Structure 1
């Protein structure tokens, strides 16, 4: 029987791992998406790299971290981040670039700087696509965080694998149910944030 304190500790470790990775992925992806607007070569390299990493099986990405970074929290963050980059970068880039050119020309005509155009026109336009990518990346990160238990990241993956190895359904569910609830929490929390920051969201 799994002790409640063990489940709570593992859940906290899992939350820290997932949200740390997700926020690092956002911090890396959004600047890359903006930079890709100004360089087709950079866009090509970034998208190709993200697509390539996405094509590699998740377990292989996790396993390949061991020879380079060892085991523990940091290799787990890197492995999850590599898988979470594509949906955020791709969706953000699409949202940023999918603005009516006439609107950009008008903004430049009235004297807005590139920073102001990004802040007041491109970014609000990108919110729906960007948040869709972030939510998908968060759910993806949550699932891969289970796999990273194999390389010593801790979290709910340890409990889930204990249940699988021991054919113990109760232990398996003790790890799986919090992981499912966390995936739902990620979706709800970023949907609420999207409602707050997206202009006219409630009118849709």
Structure 2
């Protein structure tokens, strides 16, 4: 059994790695999708790229990063970020584009600008789809963070792989249980954020 201090440090590293990659993915995704609202060609290019990256196995993505930028924390962040692009892009795209067209037309009719429509109409109605994608991406990032231990990403991955190598069930569980706990926490925390952001009239 590893020391509690080591486990806490590994868990903190895992959280930082997961949240950094997820945040980077969201910061890349959201502006691109907003721009794609006004360009069908850009939307098509973004969706194709995200689908292409998603089609590549996670291990291959991690391995591909190494010859490009080496090993360590930042390569691990990039590898995870690439894997979480599709759910965030796809769900944000679907959420923003599937808003009832009558709402959009009515908003234009009362003189709202495109930005006001995006802020007050499209986004609130798209929150369920957007957050479903973010929650899936968060859980995906959490699991892939384990795999990035192979390229020096740190976190709980090294503990799990060491346990697997030595057939040490206790060590495996020591690494796996916090990963499961983090996944549950991610799902719960983003559900709470969604609940707080969603206007009362849109809540079921």
TM-score interval for Structure 1 and Structure 2 normalised by the shorter chain: over 0.9
Q: Secondary structure at the match of 1:155?
A: coil
Structure 2 spans left out of the alignment, 5+ residues? none
How do residues 174-189 of structure 1 correspond to structure 2 at under 5 angstroms?
A: 174-189=174-189
What do residues 143-183 of structure 1 show as CA deviations (whole Å, max 9, x unaligned)?
00000000001000000001000110111111000000000
- Whether 1:140 and 2:140 are equivalent positions in the alignment is yes
How many residues matched?
204
Measured in 1, the distance between the counterparts of 2:103 and 2:85 equals 29
How do residues 95-134 of structure 1 correspond to structure 2 at under 5 angstroms?
A: 95-134=95-134
- Is residue 195–residue 202 contact of structure 1 (8 Å, CA) maintained in 2? no
Q: CA RMSD in A?
A: 1.1
Alpha-carbon distance change, 102 to 29 in structure 1, aligned in 2, over 3 angstroms: same
> Shift of residue 200 of structure 1?
3.0
- Is residue 125–residue 202 contact of structure 2 (8 Å, CA) maintained in 1? no
Measured in 2, the distance between the counterparts of 1:131 and 1:149 equals 28
> Shift of residue 203 of structure 1?
4.6
Measured in 2, the distance between the counterparts of 1:43 and 1:119 equals 19
- Whether 1:72 and 2:72 are equivalent positions in the alignment is yes
What do residues 55-86 of structure 1 show as CA deviations (whole Å, max 9, x unaligned)?
10000000100000100011001100001011
Measured in 2, the distance between the counterparts of 1:9 and 1:80 equals 20
Measured in 2, the distance between the counterparts of 1:138 and 1:25 equals 10
Measured in 2, the distance between the counterparts of 1:39 and 1:162 equals 48
Alpha-carbon distance change, 113 to 203 in structure 1, aligned in 2, over 3 angstroms: closer
Structure 1 spans left out of the alignment, 5+ residues? none
What is aligned with 1:7? 7
What do residues 12-60 of structure 1 show as CA deviations (whole Å, max 9, x unaligned)?
0000000011111111111111111111111111001100100100000
Measured in 2, the distance between the counterparts of 1:89 and 1:30 equals 7
What is aligned with 2:62? 62
- Is residue 88–residue 137 contact of structure 1 (8 Å, CA) maintained in 2? yes
Measured in 2, the distance between the counterparts of 1:199 and 1:48 equals 32
Measured in 2, the distance between the counterparts of 1:123 and 1:192 equals 17
Alpha-carbon distance change, 68 to 146 in structure 1, aligned in 2, over 3 angstroms: same
Measured in 2, the distance between the counterparts of 1:2 and 1:202 equals 47
Q: Secondary structure at the match of 2:49?
A: helix
